[in-house]
Amino acid sequence: MKRRALDDMNCSIAQTLDVVGDSWTLLIVRDALFDVTRFDDFQRRLDIPRTTLSSRLTTLVEHGVMERRPHESTPARHDYVLTPKGRALHPVVVSMLQWGDAWSSLPEPPVTLVDADTDAEIDPVYIDRNSGKPLTELNIQRRHN
Amino acid sequence: MKRRALDDMNCSIAQTLDVVGDSWTLLIVRDALFDVTRFDDFQRRLDIPRTTLSSRLTTLVEHGVMERRPHESTPARHDYVLTPKGRALHPVVVSMLQWGDAWSSLPEPPVTLVDADTDAEIDPVYIDRNSGKPLTELNIQRRHN
């Protein structure tokens, strides 16, 4: 019922929430972005009930966010890997990471983002490609098309 | 139970989901970012049950994301306004908007973001402040502190 309501809204944000508007789902995507692929690894890291994990993975596969691949060494098992559509969720995960770093009650950021190729720290900031300004400097409004 | 589990995780993303990991909550924040302030306006735009809206607004106030202010013309009523902590959620909303624009089944983006001061279109992109590169060009990993 709720799912269909979101899916019916003519709003890109509601459409996104229809796919990932569930906390477990976004934590699965988080771990998948950082190269977790096996059911048992997701289960142990998230401490999530197996039936819940199974149903969330199935939904993500149905939405084309993840795909199931035969496991390299044990073909009877599967890896769960993000598709390009799934990898494109990284700004959602990064923006949540930054907000939690800045505003949650955690004493310090538990994680630093780095470029695995150079080991350099990454400091993500949202800018407007047209003006070069950080979004915080802009008075953002929406115009309906 | 689920809420406490997220709150207990030493992860900034889980901490964020503890506050806004609910579809209605993020749709309320979306409308608040675009200057909706009155209970009845949220209710009509979202087509949300009044008791659900009331409980979500109360939770957002408790988390310091919104504050209740006496209504200008009708002091017995209240406006719900984002705090700085709440306005800082705009990258989460913008990243969901962009993902929905790119990957949902909507025929075209329903909304264009503009700068209300200049009416210029805004094209948000996440870059690394240190290297200037778009995040998509980087091989992002996490280092635990």
Q: How many CB atoms lie within 10 A of CB B55?
A: 12
Are B111 and A145 inside 8 Å of each other by CB?
A: yes
Least Cα distance to A113 among B139, B44, B41, B81 occurs for B139
The closest CB to that of B91, out of A18, A122, A126, belongs to: A126
Q: Would you state the pLDDT for residue A73?
A: 82
Chain A positions in Cβ-Cβ contact with residue B145 (cut-off 8 Å): 108-112
The closest CB to that of B142, out of A21, A34, A129, belongs to: A34
Q: How confident is the model at residue A71 (pLDDT cuts 50, 70, 90)?
A: confident
Are B143 and A34 inside 8 Å of each other by CB?
A: no
| Min Cα–Cα distance to chain A from B56, Å | 15
Residue A3 has pLDDT above 70, yes or no: no
Q: Would you state the pLDDT for residue B4?
A: 47
Name the residue of chain A whose CA is nearest to B118's CA: A139
- How far is Cα A98 from Cα A76, in angstroms, rounded to an integer? 39
Are A97 and B144 inside 8 Å of each other by CB?
A: no
Cα angle A16-A20-A21, degrees, rounded to a multiple of 5: 90
Chain A positions in Cβ-Cβ contact with residue B120 (cut-off 8 Å): 130-131
The closest CB to that of A15, out of B106, B115, B131, belongs to: B106
Question: Quick one: B139 exposed, middle or buried, by C-beta within 10 A (0-12, 13-18, 19+)?
Answer: exposed
What the block records as the tokens of A97 is: 């990471």
Tens of pLDDT, residue by residue over A16-59, are 999 999 999 999 999 999 999 999 999 999 999 999 999 999 99
Q: Would you state the pLDDT for residue A1?
A: 40
- Domains of chain A, each with CATH number or no CATH: 2-137 (1.10.10.10)
Q: Would you state the pLDDT for residue B71?
A: 84
Crossing angle of helices A23-33 and A90-103, in 10° steps, is 110
The closest CB to that of B106, out of A10, A101, A129, belongs to: A10
| Min Cα–Cα distance to chain A from B59, Å | 15
pTM: 0.94
Chain B positions in Cβ-Cβ contact with residue A112 (cut-off 8 Å): 142-143, 145
Report the mean per-residue pLDDT for chain A: 93
Most B CBs within 10 A among A1, A8, A13, hence the mutation to make, goes to: A13
User: Looking at this predicted complex, what is its ipTM?
Assistant: 0.94
Give the single-character DSSP code of A22: B
